[in-house]
Structure 1
Amino acid sequence: LDVTLSPNPALTFRTIGGILDFYLFLGPTPENVVQQYTEAIGRPHMPAYWSLGFQLSRWGYGSLDVLKETVDRMEHYDIPYDVQHFDIDYMERRLDFTYDKVNFAGLPEFMKDLKKKGKHNVVILDPFITKDEEPGTYRPYELGQEMGVWVNNSDGLTPAVGQAWPPGDSVFPDYTNPRTVEWWTQLCLEFKDVLDYDGIWIDMNEPSNFMRGQYPGCADNEINNPPYTPSISDRSLAQKTLCPDSKTYLGDHYNTHSLFGWSQTEPTFNVVQQATGKRAFVLSRSTFVGSGKHGGHWLGDNFSQWKDLRRSVVGILEFNLFGIPYIGADICGFNYNTTYELCLRWMQLGSFYPFSRNHNSEGNSEQDPAVFGAAFAKISRATLRIRYSLLPYLYTLFYESHVHGGTVVRSLMHEFTSDQETHGIDTAFLWGPAFMIAPVLEEATRSVTVYFPEAQWFDYYTVLPSAWKKNYATVSAPLSKIPLYIRGGYILPQQAPATTTTESRLNPFGLIIALDEQGQASGSLFWDDGDSIDTIEKENYFLAKYTFSKVSGHI
């Protein structure tokens, strides 16, 4: 299927067959469209409060000692930081459900220590299992083999065998099969007793295979080589994945390929809740329609380049339209070495991603916000403290998204639809209706041209009203600052920041009251314990609606 958008405006669908069902969501506003869409596909999940804190990750710590040094320097500079991710280097030889008892000796105790400091841990798991360990030594494979949980070859009987991170050859769990869900649930529950995780990051779940199809290659038939293939890698549907004529529980891989990550997300969500007794954190690389109900997403393996910094804004906006508002990009870039200025600007922008995580690839230089020295750390700390102070507002937006199905981050066009000037703006964005972020997206730049739609806008730092309305203005953006604005007519709840949300949640609250031209403002605050399951459904929460009028002077 190829879908082409033309400037007419028009959508052109080209397909080689199948049944097309069209659902039209008529709005009339952009927010209404997203609300109607998520009513059909499933509302976004309610994230745990801690998952809105800053998160740190890298593939390539290599040892627990290096990770400890990283954590120590983050603490030295008092940089807000809630979550530590563990990529595949924590595993023994990249085998799921293991940890490296040499390079990461003491990992279970270290994770417990992080938890005592109010932090949370997220472990990565991949969707391929080696079949070539010594018999009797690797239970995930043997249990899976016994239960018959793998994606099969076209014969529907023999498991598809490919290559991925683990040594030897790998087989691929078929998450559309209820038996696979049982197998996965059992192993994730058992693994919780080994490593005390709070969330699971599911990667490579397209599914990724380091070959073109499985052994011995894909047969030359119409499913594997249809009469038309879109402009994809090598023009091959099997490139870096499995042959389309492989068999899953729901049918040919040709039809279920895009559902692989989606089908893994819900069982992972359910088992994390079962294992922790708390709200689930699931981060998936592969998503499909409805994935936001059980998980979040990041924008994949980006590059440490200015153009990737800029494109991330577009990706964040798009995934909010898709009903997956818990979305972020790898801050400072995943591939290549970052630079001081790029990483600093990315830390500033990333401080306002809904999912805020600095992540990095093996072999690249370290890029955590504490590694560049005191000046960089001070700026990162200050920006993250703004994020943390506004977390009650962000959390309230996630509550509204979970209940009503709208966006958390949105474009200026979303709020000011009748203003044609907003339709092309993808360099600034809003948290909800009221908080504008206008990041620096170009190298060696110390100012930003910002469009201010028809409203009263207040500079976040000075609290002074801006003179601009329905106009562009060039605003100052020294290295130490990301331009931020509050829209008049709104009340934003805030809370004194701290180094973790565990601490900040105990701090005093405040309200930012930004008046419109009539001297009025309104807003709301949603609050609960931050991580219990189904507090909204069980009505175990506090919800305040605030209004202010200059005439009465009362809130």
Structure 2
Amino acid sequence: MNKRQALSLFGNDISPIVLEVEFQTKDRLRFRLYDPNKQRFEVPLKIDGPGVTAEEANYEVEFSDDSSHFRIKRKSTGTVLWDSPLVDLFFSNQFLEITTTVPSTSVYGFGEHEHPTFKHNMDFVTYGMYARDQAPTSFANLYGVHPFYMCVEPDSNAHGVLLLNSNAQDVTLSPNPSLTFRTIGGILDFYLFMGPTPENVVQQYTEAIGRPHMPAYWSLGFQLSRWGYNSLDVLKATVDRMKHYDIPYDVQHYDIDYMERRLDFTYDKVNFAGLPEFMKELKKNGKHNVVILDPFVTKDEEPGTYRPYELGQEMGVWVNNSDGVTPAVGQAWPPGYSVFPDFTNPRTVEWWTTLCLEFKDVLDYDGIWIDMNEPSNFMRGQIPGCADTEINNPPYTPSITDRSLAEKTLCPDSKTYLGDHYNTHSLFGWSQTEPTFNVVQQATGKRAFVLSRSTFVGSGKHGAHWLGDNFSLWKDLRRSIIGILEFNLFGIPYIGADICGFNYNTTYELCLRWMQLGSFYPFSRNHNSEGNIEQDPAVFGDTFAEISRDTLRIRYSLLPYLYTLFYESHVHGGTVARSLMHEFTSDQETHGIDTAFLWGPAFMIAPVLEEATRSVSVYFPEAQWFDYYTVLPSAWKKTYTTVSAPLNKIPLYIRGGYILPQQAPATTTTESRLNPFGLIIALDEEGQASGSLFWDDGDSIDTIEKENYFLAKYTFSNVSGNIQDTYLHGGRCNLV
């Protein structure tokens, strides 16, 4: 359909434009608005479908008689999921805008931001999306870009919508209820996912953008990090006190202080003398090592002394200035000035692969943590600044921090392999993640661990994420749950926040409550910033260490269940951590709850989120619930109940009708994997329960694809009074 739209007021309006509708699957519809006369930038993420007829689809598309409205309806109910008044559509060279009504105010998603609530406030709130090195702050655009939302309709069906666009953009949520999307480049490329359950929505979304990767089992253990150990002696003392208190702990991270003068692919041979041997010793003790690498490379070392720069210069791998020839020069952690690798360039992938493989011979890492990859630059644009052009200063700037596209990054007119940085900026971390994933697998011969700060649509296929440079504040403790729920919607279920906070000094009680909550993050890591007090769980004394140990031992005992959830996410898509709304969608009360969450369908975590609090108000949806500690059934249903939460306890509940596999815990997963298994059988009101266990060697590549695994499905019925198990692959587990 051709469309002539209203003038945008920002000049260079394009007319006509084409609205193209594609019935990709019965539950996925694509519609795109583009300029038929000129190729504009499109995100290089190919989303295809086999194609279906209008009769086969679960949606129907309507145009009003005068073509003033474009609507998408759910065929089974008639609910209008998308309704755009095309007279309000704008499409100019640097300003695109479209508005749609949504069927309810139960809207979730959009990122990356620090949202105050999981269910969005629709009272004319605007969120900008443009990757930025920005500590979590309300209404600020943060490290990644995820223009995806889910809406729960009035009859409890759910659908999701993706705008596949990497340019700077914003979205306004209005009380009609409606959404207004604005972007300053590319095309309007939308995908609608029909659900009808929230889990179906995420499954359909990840089918399109890429299923989440299968993490190594060891990476589900507790992880320890800090920027500011500053010497191997300090790190050794930390490891020793963790061992003294017998606190479960699997992974040690190394932040930039391990490097020589913050240079990638080096280590400090003075303050960290003996680091290679120390890392090997940790591995002998069943632990794993993760090193950080930044995406900027100093250009100012003595000639012949810094191979990463010289090899990159020889191979021509940098982001260039607007001339497309000279490298863009900015400033970051390394001494002097830095250049920036362009990971959209295949030559850069070769360069990065070579260096990461060589570095494996220096430091025996198990995973790589890629930071600062928005990309971060400590200047506004590169030397000598950004020219005053429309690409650097567009006529409309979305609602992003500082309203500058160059703030803390490169000028928009910089050139990458795929085109202008104006279009590709928010793809930087995404384009770095896959080659890092591939080289880690090549270097280790095992399943990759890649932790990336900047993410985009589809990043979960190759990487994990954490919520960035948060603060040691109760507010940040509480909002971390929202971030974890959102990234599960975004197809990145291996997600966590820095336990006890990254910025500021923590306090005893905040850190203790955070250790309790963080013990149930899918990605569980304690990390903080240089200059702050130490905050590992062994540093606060006997009582703190004992409580942390006990809570982490609960995590470790339930790792078979968590691992099985990751298997299901990898194979079928879907979430690992989810909201109560996700499971009890028809219960309106759950739609606004973001202070408790679930692992899968069956395990509820209800943490303490306020200071000096010894009880929690917990909402129990319609189900049979069992207290994890007492194994006693509760009488609570569809009600809020105040439950006791002394300082040594985080309230935990198991939902009736489910069987959770467990295993005796140990101080590492290397040890715990050798321990006896057991089952927690929580019966529903009919006396029945079911569950499953996925098991493999924990770190080999493609065990699922090669069918080199064990899968048991369990059912229990009180009628027969026994458990029946179905073994689909492999041998038996010892059940005790």
TM-score range, shorter chain: over 0.9
How much does 1:186 deviate? 0.1
**SS, match of residue 388 in structure 1:** helix
CA distance in 2, matches of 1:260, 1:333: 26
CA distance in 1, matches of 2:175, 2:234: 51
**SS, match of residue 189 in structure 2:** coil
Return closer, same or farther for 1:8/1:492 CA change in 2, 3 Å cut-off. farther
- Deviation string, structure 1 residues 317-342 (Cα, Å, up to 9, x no partner): 00000000000000000000000000
Pick the aligned partner of 1:513 from 681, 695, 710: 681
CA distance in 2, matches of 1:554, 1:33: 36
- 1:492 maps to which residue? 660
How much does 1:369 deviate? 0.2
CA distance in 2, matches of 1:366, 1:298: 20
How much does 1:145 deviate? 0.1
Return closer, same or farther for 1:269/1:16 CA change in 2, 3 Å cut-off. closer
CA contact (8 A) 2:280 2:364 kept: yes
CA contact (8 A) 2:184 2:397 kept: no
Pick the aligned partner of 1:117 from 285, 288, 304: 285
Note the 1:284-323 alignment, pairs <5 A. 284-323=452-491
- Deviation string, structure 1 residues 10-49 (Cα, Å, up to 9, x no partner): 2211234541011110100000000000000000000000
Return closer, same or farther for 1:257/1:16 CA change in 2, 3 Å cut-off. closer
Deviation larger for 339-348 or 233-242: 233-242
CA distance in 1, matches of 2:556, 2:397: 46
Q: Does 1:328 align with 2:496?
A: yes
How much does 1:9 deviate? 3.2
**SS, match of residue 21 in structure 1:** strand
- 1:201 maps to which residue? 369
CA distance in 2, matches of 1:18, 1:509: 53
CA distance in 2, matches of 1:7, 1:21: 24
CA distance in 2, matches of 1:232, 1:38: 27
Deviation larger for 432-441 or 18-27: 18-27
Deviation larger for 509-518 or 228-237: 228-237
What runs of 5+ residues in structure 2 fail to find an aligned partner? 1-169, 724-736
**SS, match of residue 22 in structure 1:** strand
Deviation larger for 230-239 or 541-550: 230-239
- Deviation string, structure 1 residues 380-437 (Cα, Å, up to 9, x no partner): 0000000000000000000000000000000000000000000000000000000000
CA distance in 1, matches of 2:334, 2:183: 37
CA contact (8 A) 2:500 2:526 kept: yes
- 1:340 maps to which residue? 508
CA contact (8 A) 2:330 2:378 kept: yes
CA distance in 1, matches of 2:445, 2:183: 45
How much does 1:244 deviate? 0.4
How much does 1:467 deviate? 1.1
Pick the aligned partner of 1:32 from 182, 192, 200: 200
CA distance in 1, matches of 2:471, 2:411: 29
**SS, match of residue 357 in structure 2:** helix
CA distance in 1, matches of 2:417, 2:185: 22
How much does 1:447 deviate? 0.3
**SS, match of residue 193 in structure 2:** coil
- 2:697 maps to which residue? 529
RMSD over aligned Cα, in angstroms? 0.6
Using CA pairs under 8 Å that are at least 6 residues apart, name the structure with larger relative contact order, 1 or 2. Answer: 1
**SS, match of residue 472 in structure 1:** strand
**SS, match of residue 526 in structure 1:** strand
**SS, match of residue 234 in structure 2:** helix
- 1:419 maps to which residue? 587
- Deviation string, structure 1 residues 470-501 (Cα, Å, up to 9, x no partner): 10000000000000000000000000000000
- Deviation string, structure 1 residues 338-370 (Cα, Å, up to 9, x no partner): 000000000000000000000000000000000
Deviation larger for 44-53 or 6-15: 6-15
**SS, match of residue 239 in structure 1:** coil
CA distance in 1, matches of 2:650, 2:181: 41
How many equivalent residue pairs?
A: 554
- 1:181 maps to which residue? 349
**SS, match of residue 191 in structure 2:** coil
Which protein has the larger Cα radius of gyration, Structure 1 or Structure 2? 2
How much does 1:6 deviate? 2.8
Deviation larger for 157-166 or 2-11: 2-11
CA contact (8 A) 2:343 2:349 kept: yes
CA contact (8 A) 2:171 2:179 kept: yes
Q: Post-superposition, which runs of at least 4 consecutive aligned residues in structure 1 deviate over 6 A?
A: none
How much does 1:8 deviate? 3.8
**SS, match of residue 653 in structure 2:** strand
CA distance in 1, matches of 2:294, 2:187: 33
CA distance in 2, matches of 1:25, 1:11: 17
**SS, match of residue 263 in structure 2:** coil
CA distance in 1, matches of 2:176, 2:594: 20
- Deviation string, structure 1 residues 501-551 (Cα, Å, up to 9, x no partner): 000000000000000000000000000000000000000000000000001
CA distance in 2, matches of 1:260, 1:17: 17
CA contact (8 A) 2:183 2:398 kept: no
- 1:62 maps to which residue? 230
How much does 1:229 deviate? 1.1
How much does 1:59 deviate? 0.2
> TM-score scaled by structure 2?
0.75
Deviation larger for 144-153 or 11-20: 11-20
CA distance in 2, matches of 1:326, 1:516: 29
CA distance in 2, matches of 1:484, 1:265: 35
Q: Does 1:17 align with 2:185?
A: yes
CA distance in 2, matches of 1:317, 1:85: 24
CA distance in 1, matches of 2:580, 2:474: 22
How much does 1:4 deviate? 1.7
CA contact (8 A) 2:185 2:423 kept: no
CA distance in 2, matches of 1:5, 1:200: 37
CA distance in 1, matches of 2:717, 2:180: 50
How much does 1:233 deviate? 2.4
CA distance in 1, matches of 2:545, 2:511: 11
- Deviation string, structure 1 residues 110-135 (Cα, Å, up to 9, x no partner): 00000000000000000000000000
CA distance in 2, matches of 1:393, 1:27: 25
**SS, match of residue 24 in structure 1:** strand
**SS, match of residue 716 in structure 2:** strand
- Deviation string, structure 1 residues 45-90 (Cα, Å, up to 9, x no partner): 0000000000000000000000000000000000000000000000
Pick the aligned partner of 2:306 from 132, 138, 155: 138
CA distance in 2, matches of 1:358, 1:182: 33
**SS, match of residue 5 in structure 1:** strand
CA distance in 1, matches of 2:180, 2:344: 31
What runs of 5+ residues in structure 1 fail to find an aligned partner? none
- Deviation string, structure 1 residues 74-109 (Cα, Å, up to 9, x no partner): 000000000000000000000000000000000000
**SS, match of residue 492 in structure 1:** strand
Relative to total residues, which structure has the larger strand share, 1 or 2? 2
Deviation larger for 122-131 or 17-26: 17-26
How much does 1:231 deviate? 2.5
Return closer, same or farther for 1:263/1:442 CA change in 2, 3 Å cut-off. same
Note the 1:341-356 alignment, pairs <5 A. 341-356=509-524
CA distance in 2, matches of 1:271, 1:332: 32
**SS, match of residue 150 in structure 1:** coil
How much does 1:5 deviate? 2.2
**SS, match of residue 227 in structure 1:** coil
Return closer, same or farther for 1:320/1:229 CA change in 2, 3 Å cut-off. same
- 2:447 maps to which residue? 279
CA distance in 2, matches of 1:7, 1:522: 42
CA distance in 1, matches of 2:631, 2:175: 40
Return closer, same or farther for 1:275/1:456 CA change in 2, 3 Å cut-off. same
Percent sequence identity over matched residues? 94
